[in-house]
């Protein structure tokens, strides 16, 4: 392997290959749940260098694990003995073209940098989530990341017009379309998005931008039940013509855990309600953003009207509308700390699932009952992108027992699948969900996946041991 490392150094220059202690940042995931010792870390600065790395590794049959921001939640970047292919130095925003509403970016661009670049031109890249200050293009395309705005703007794949991909043997596939209609053969773009680096390495992308809402109306709302929450969502969508940007569920157990982790913060309400949601509506038409004589923007008036009507009807218990950016930021900070909050206790069993919108409530009841039987002292720490039916069902079990952790995963899956849901919503499969893939994925789909994998990476060097069950 020293021969391969020497060849990589030849190709990438001295700073392009890291070993030993220098490789430490690429030897664990951010949750600390996975740790490994890679062969080395390579840091290409161009697509040509990525191609060279893969050509060399392919010839040597050497496993390669692509990694960008390393903020994944499923162990998708673990790479014992692997060449860690870090995209961090390919971090150029090549273009932001406001008229065409697109950005051309490299795989190492950090999500929040892209946010800033779009905003500087009055536009928005709508994908967002807590890790946006570290997560990079390569990772969020590789995992088809979701986040808080999927309700309005779709998943990552819905925001991608084109990609550049280096295949396992180093061939560069140029699919950098900027077009909204492009039916020219099999759709390989959607195949590599969400493939978690198992089919090729995404080096660049053409991303859609959208008009930035001219005003937001944001509120914390306490409701008597999840059904009442869904009624609120539907009323808001009707009133605003589908302008709800986010609809995030936080139960009392989560808010308690948040305050325990961040004791200096304030609770959203004076009363401890069981069921609260963070609601955000965005104004994209001028008529929704132009303040009236009292300085209120119509989008906020709509939100307040719907809340008032439902308060009157007993379908809302309490509501606080953010009066300024600071209050809005406080509401979002509470939600976006979910990753950190869950990690305050170890062990933690993480499970990211989706069910039909109207089944979230019954799912939580059933999963809670199963959990109580498996481990009566276990604490579920739940948050949900309720508008997508996407539940992050984290659990703090009472003891560190792999068999118990797996039993909890499996029980949660049972309830998800019985309700027509998916065992994996937005975090991807990585290592964490491989047992679930083996148990739950349609047999024929799994066979077809393996056939496609073997066709595009016959030596199996790309992110081996991930996504596909053993």
Rg of the chain, C-alpha, whole Å: 23
- Shortest Cβ distance from residue 71 to its own copies (Å)? 15
Decide whether 84 or 150 has the Cβ nearer to its own copies: 150
Min. distance of Cβ 134 from its own copies in angstroms? Answer: 20
Indicate the residue among 24 and 448 with the shorter CB distance to its own copies: 448
Closest CA to 190 of 169, 165, 172: 165
Smallest separation (angstroms) from its own copies to the CB of 286: 7
d(CA 444, CA 365): 32
Minimum distance from CB of 345 to its own copies (Å)?
Answer: 26
Alpha-carbon distance of 178 to 214, in angstroms, equals 26
Contacting residues for 102 by C-beta, under 8 A, at least 6 apart = 95, 96, 161, 178, 206, 207, 208, 209
Pairing type for strands 390-396 and 102-106 reads unpaired
Cβ burial, residue 174 (10 Å; 0-12/13-18/19+)? exposed
Q: How far is the CB of 399 from its own copies (least distance, A)?
A: 29
Give Cα separations from 391 to 235, 254, 353, 357, 441 (angstroms).
Answer: 22, 13, 5, 10, 19
Nearer to its own copies, 361 or 390 (CB): 390
DSSP three-state, residue 173:
strand
Q: Which is nearer to its own copies, 38 or 170 (CB)?
A: 170
Q: Which is nearer to its own copies, 40 or 226 (CB)?
A: 226
- Name which of 238 and 296 has its Cβ closer to its own copies: 238
Identity of the residue, 334 or 427, whose beta carbon is nearer to its own copies in the bound complex? 427
Name which of 284 and 350 has its Cβ closer to its own copies. Answer: 284
CA distance 160 to 148: 17
Q: How far is the CB of 22 from its own copies (least distance, A)?
A: 32
List helix spans (H) across 159-280. Answer: 188-192, 226-240, 252-261
Taken as a whole, the chain contains a residue count of 470
What is the closest distance, in whole angstroms, from the C-beta atom of residue 448 to its own copies in the complex?
A: 6
Backbone dihedral angles phi then psi of residue 227, each to the nearest 5 degrees: -65, -40
Least CB distance from residue 40 to its own copies, whole Å?
Answer: 27
Least distance (Å) between residue 308 CB and its own copies: 16
CA gap 390, 145 in Å, rounded: 12
Give the whole-angstrom CA distance, residue 460 versus residue 64: 9
State in angstroms the smallest separation of the CB of 31 from its own copies.
Answer: 18
What whole-number distance in Å separates Cα of residue 2 and Cα of residue 151?
Answer: 49
CA-based nearest residue to 121, from 141, 94, 148, 103: 103
**Considering beta carbons, is residue 26 or 249 the nearer one to its own copies?**
249
Cβ-based nearer residue to its own copies, 10 or 182: 182
Q: Count Cβ atoms within 10 A of the Cβ of residue 351 and give its class: 0-12 exposed, 13-18 middle, 19 or more buried.
A: buried
């Amino acid at each position: 392997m020293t021969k391969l490392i020497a060849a990589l150094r030849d190709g990438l220059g001295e700073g392009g290959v890291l070993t030993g202690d220098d490789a430490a940042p690429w030897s664990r995931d951010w949750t600390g749940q996975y740790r490994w010792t890679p062969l080395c870390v390579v840091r290409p600065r161009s697509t040509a260098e990525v191609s060279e790395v893969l050509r060399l590794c392919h010839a040597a049959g050497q496993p390669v694990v692509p990694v960008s921001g390393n903020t994944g939640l499923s162990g998708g970047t673990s790479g014992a003995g692997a060449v860690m292919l870090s995209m961090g130095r390919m971090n150029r925003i090549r273009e932001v073209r406001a008229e065409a509403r697109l950005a051309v970016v490299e795989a190492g661009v950090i999500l929040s940098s892209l946010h800033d670049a779009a905003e500087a031109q009055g536009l928005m890249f709508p994908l967002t989530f807590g890790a946006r200050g570290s997560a990079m293009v390569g990772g969020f395309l590789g995992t088809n990341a979701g986040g808080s705005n999927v309700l309005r703007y779709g998943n990552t794949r819905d925001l991608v017009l084109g990609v550049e991909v280096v295949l396992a043997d180093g061939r560069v596939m140029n699919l950098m379309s900027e077009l909204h209609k492009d039916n020219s053969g099999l759709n390989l773009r959607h195949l590599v998005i969400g493939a978690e680096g198992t089919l090729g390495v995404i080096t660049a992308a053409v991303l859609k931008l959208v008009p930035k809402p001219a005003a937001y109306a944001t509120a914390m709302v306490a409701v008597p039940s999840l059904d009442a929450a869904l009624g609120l969502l539907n009323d808001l969508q009707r009133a605003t013509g589908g302008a709800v940007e986010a609809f995030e569920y936080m139960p009392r157990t989560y808010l308690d855990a948040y305050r325990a982790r961040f004791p200096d913060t304030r609770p959203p309400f004076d009363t401890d309600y069981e069921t609260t949601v963070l609601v955000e509506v965005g104004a994209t038409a001028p008529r929704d953003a132009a303040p009236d004589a009292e300085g209120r923007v119509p989008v906020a008036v709509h939100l307040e009207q719907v809340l008032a009507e439902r308060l009157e009807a007993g379908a809302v218990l309490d509501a606080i509308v953010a009066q300024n950016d600071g209050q809005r930021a406080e509401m979002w900070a509470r939600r976006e700390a979910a990753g950190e909050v869950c990690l305050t206790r170890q062990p933690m069993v993480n499970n990211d699932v989706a069910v039909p919108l109207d089944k979230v409530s019954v799912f939580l009841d059933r999963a809670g009952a199963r959990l109580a039987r498996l481990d009566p002292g276990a604490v579920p720490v739940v948050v949900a992108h309720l508008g997508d039916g996407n539940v992050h069902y984290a659990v703090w079990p009472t003891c560190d027992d792999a068999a118990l952790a797996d039993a909890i995963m499996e029980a949660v899956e049972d309830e998800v699948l019985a309700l027509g849901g998916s065992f994996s919503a937005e975090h991807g499969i990585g290592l964490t969900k491989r047992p679930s893939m083996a148990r739950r994925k349609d047999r024929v789909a799994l066979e077809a996946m393996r056939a496609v994998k073997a066709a595009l990476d016959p030596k199996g060097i790309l992110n081996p041991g991930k996504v596909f069950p053993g």
